[in-house]
């Protein structure tokens, strides 16, 4: 190995999984992965370099909303060539810097350069984490390019090194990210649940496309260090995870919705209590949440979840969509299980 490639725990992990498998094939490789929304949230790392979580989490994929990555080897280039949604990015742009650092984990030698074209099939302002689907798609494309032939859980480990929630975007459907116990993270990966729910729907209520005040990495570190409620988070997650798994098996929307909503609110409560407070909701967020509560009080089965941003995501079944559209006319509705066969192919 060329010593000039920066050595790190993450690179050691990447090299270990790919060892003996590197067989560069000429040409390029392309992959698409769906994004995901956590029903039981990931909030807090036990290892910041390897993105190892304090607790497990569980998500559902976002159907046709995801990212595509096309990767090729770039001979004789000074740097990687990275484009996003059809536009080539300056090497110093935050996205290009983050992706090039991630690609460092996989360069056979320090002079090795990649060309990466990524595109997101979701409105970037809708608050759907395109980093999860983006890193997952990059890893699956690298697997194709180098011919590693890794299994889903190994791809999940590599995607996790780019962004924690990307570990849940290698496979579609309901995915549980096992926290693991090992310090090298080899037991921390996403596992797809053997359950489908064709009528399950996600709705995006876009209240703001503005940049969030604090990114998830810094916010997690701050909350873990300063929130007086952080100690209650891991046991809350363990309990909610068991309940959500049960709700998925029984296709019990009320149990799933109520538990996912309570879990998201518990995460936001611990954020609010950190010092200084990490506060993502806007007035429009609270108005949307009130409308969900009123709908429910009127007998409409709808719940919400919310990540590190101001845009709530609605959780409901197909039969409720028409009613919700009268209250949220701009609702973007996603069917996580609609294109599973395509995603699996
Ligand atoms: O994977 P990250 O570092 O973008 O963190 C994601 C954190 C949340 O979206 C708030 C929760 C989750 O489980 O996706």
DSSP symbol at 121: S
Cα–ligand 1 centroid distance for 78 (angstroms): 33
Q: How far is CA 37 from CA 42, 91, 295, in A?
A: 11, 30, 22
Ligand 1 centroid from CA 124, angstroms: 16
Residue 34 has pLDDT above 50, yes or no: yes
The overall pTM is greater than 0.75: yes
Token pair for 300: 């409409």
Select the more confidently predicted residue: 202 or 342. 202
**Residue 223, pLDDT score:** 98
Q: How far is the CA of 109 from the centre of ligand 1 (A)?
A: 32
345: pLDDT strictly greater than 50: no
Nearest Cα to 328, choosing from 145, 164, 204?
204
Cα-to-centroid distance, 307 and ligand 1 (Å): 7
Q: Express as a percent the part of the chain with pLDDT over 90.
A: 82
Inform me whether the pLDDT recorded for 340 exceeds 70.
no
| pLDDT at position 127 over 90 | no
C-beta 163 within 6 A of ligand 1: yes
Least confident of 79-93, 119-133, 164-178: 119-133
Q: Ligand 1 centroid vs 38 CA: distance in angstroms?
A: 8
Instruction: Give the distance (Å) from ligand 1 centre to CA of residue 186.
Output: 20
Decide: 57 in ligand 1 pocket, CB within 6 A.
Answer: yes
Q: Using a 6 Å cutoff on CB, does residue 42 contact ligand 1?
A: yes
For β-strands 190-192 and 200-204, DSSP reports them as unpaired
Measure 181 CA to ligand 1 centroid, in angstroms: 20
pLDDT of residue 126: 59
The arithmetic mean of pLDDT across residues 72-80, rounded, is 92
Domain boundaries, the chain: 4-192, 200-342
Q: Determine the pLDDT at residue 116.
A: 98
One of 3.30.390.50, 3.40.1310.30, 2.60.40.1930, 3.30.70.890 is the CATH number of 200-342, namely 3.30.70.890
* Burial status of residue 255 (CB atoms within 10 A of its CB: 0-12, 13-18, 19 or more): middle
- Residue whose Cα lies nearest atom 6 of ligand 1: it is 165
Ranking 50-64, 148-162, 209-223, 264-278 by mean pLDDT, the lowest is 209-223
Tens of pLDDT, residue by residue over 197-213, are 999 999 999 888 777 77
* Range 145-160 average pLDDT: 96
Is residue 142 helix, strand or coil? Answer: helix
What is the rounded CA–CA span in Å between residue 274 and residue 280?
13
| CB of 256 closer than 8 Å to CB of 240 | no
> Quick one: pLDDT at residue 92?
96
Q: To test the ligand 1 pocket, which listed residue (164, 221, 240, 310) has its Cβ within 8 A of the most ligand atoms?
A: 164
Question: Is the distance from the beta carbon of residue 216 to the nearest atom of ligand 1 less than 6 Å?
Answer: yes
Mean pLDDT of 285-308: 97
Q: What is the mean pLDDT of residues 222-247?
A: 98
Pairwise CA distance, residues 97 & 243, whole Å: 40
CATH of region 4-192: 3.30.230.10
Pocket test for ligand 1, best of 134, 307, 312 (most atoms within 8 A of CB): 307
- pLDDT > 90? residue 42: yes
Confidence of residue 1 (pLDDT cuts 50, 70, 90): very low
Could you identify the atom of ligand 1 that is nearest to the CA of residue 36? 14
Q: Residue 6: what pLDDT?
A: 63
10 Cα to the center of ligand 1, angstroms = 19
pLDDT at 54: 98
Q: Is the pLDDT of residue 228 over 70?
A: yes
Most confident of 25-29, 280-284, 340-344: 280-284
Q: Whose CA is nearest to atom 8 of ligand 1?
A: 307
Mean residue pLDDT of the chain comes to 92
Report whether residue 307 contacts ligand 1, using a CB cutoff of 6 Å: yes
Judged against a pLDDT cut of 80, whether residue 300 lies above it is answered with yes
Q: Is 237 in the pocket of ligand 1 (CB under 6 A)?
A: no
Q: For residue 142, is pLDDT > 70?
A: yes
């Amino acid at each position: 190995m060329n010593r000039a490639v920066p050595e790190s725990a993450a690179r050691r992990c990447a090299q270990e999984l790919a060892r003996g498998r590197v067989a560069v094939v000429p040409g390029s490789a392309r992959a698409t992965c769906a994004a995901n929304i956590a029903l039981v949230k990931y909030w807090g790392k036990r290892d910041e370099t390897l993105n190892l979580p304090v607790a497990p989490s569980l998500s559902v994929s976002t159907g046709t909303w995801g990212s595509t990555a096309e990767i090729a080897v770039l001979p004789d280039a000074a740097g990687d060539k990275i484009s996003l949604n059809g536009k080539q990015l300056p090497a110093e742009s935050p996205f290009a810097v983050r992706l090039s650092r991630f690609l460092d984990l996989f360069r056979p030698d320090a002079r090795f350069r990649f060309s990466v074209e990524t595109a997101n099939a979701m409105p970037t302002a809708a608050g759907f984490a395109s980093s999860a689907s983006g890193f997952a798609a990059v890893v699956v494309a690298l697997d194709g390019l180098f011919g590693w032939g890794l299994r889903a859980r190994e791809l999940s480990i590599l995607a996790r090194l780019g962004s924690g929630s990307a570990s849940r975007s290698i496979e579609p459907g309901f995915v549980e990210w096992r926290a693991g116990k090992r310090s090298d993270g080899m037991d921390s990966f996403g596992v797809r649940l053997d359950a489908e729910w064709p009528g399950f729907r996600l709705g995006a209520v876009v209240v703001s496309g503005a940049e969030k005040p604090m990114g998830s990495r810094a916010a997690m570190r701050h909350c873990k260090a300063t929130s007086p409620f952080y100690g209650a988070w891991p046991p809350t997650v363990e309990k909610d995870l068991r309940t959500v798994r049960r709700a998925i098996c029984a296709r019990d929307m009320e149990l799933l919705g109520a538990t996912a909503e309570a879990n998201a609110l518990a995460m936001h409560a611990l954020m609010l209590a950190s010092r200084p407070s990490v506060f993502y909701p806007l007035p429009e967020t609270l108005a949307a949440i009130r409308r969900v509560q009123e709908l429910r009080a009127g007998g409409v089965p709808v719940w919400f979840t919310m990540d590190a941003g101001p845009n709530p995501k609605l959780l409901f079944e197909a039969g409720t969509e028409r009613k919700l559209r009268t209250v949220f006319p701009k609702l973007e509705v996603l069917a996580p299980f609609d294109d599973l066969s395509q995603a699996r192919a």
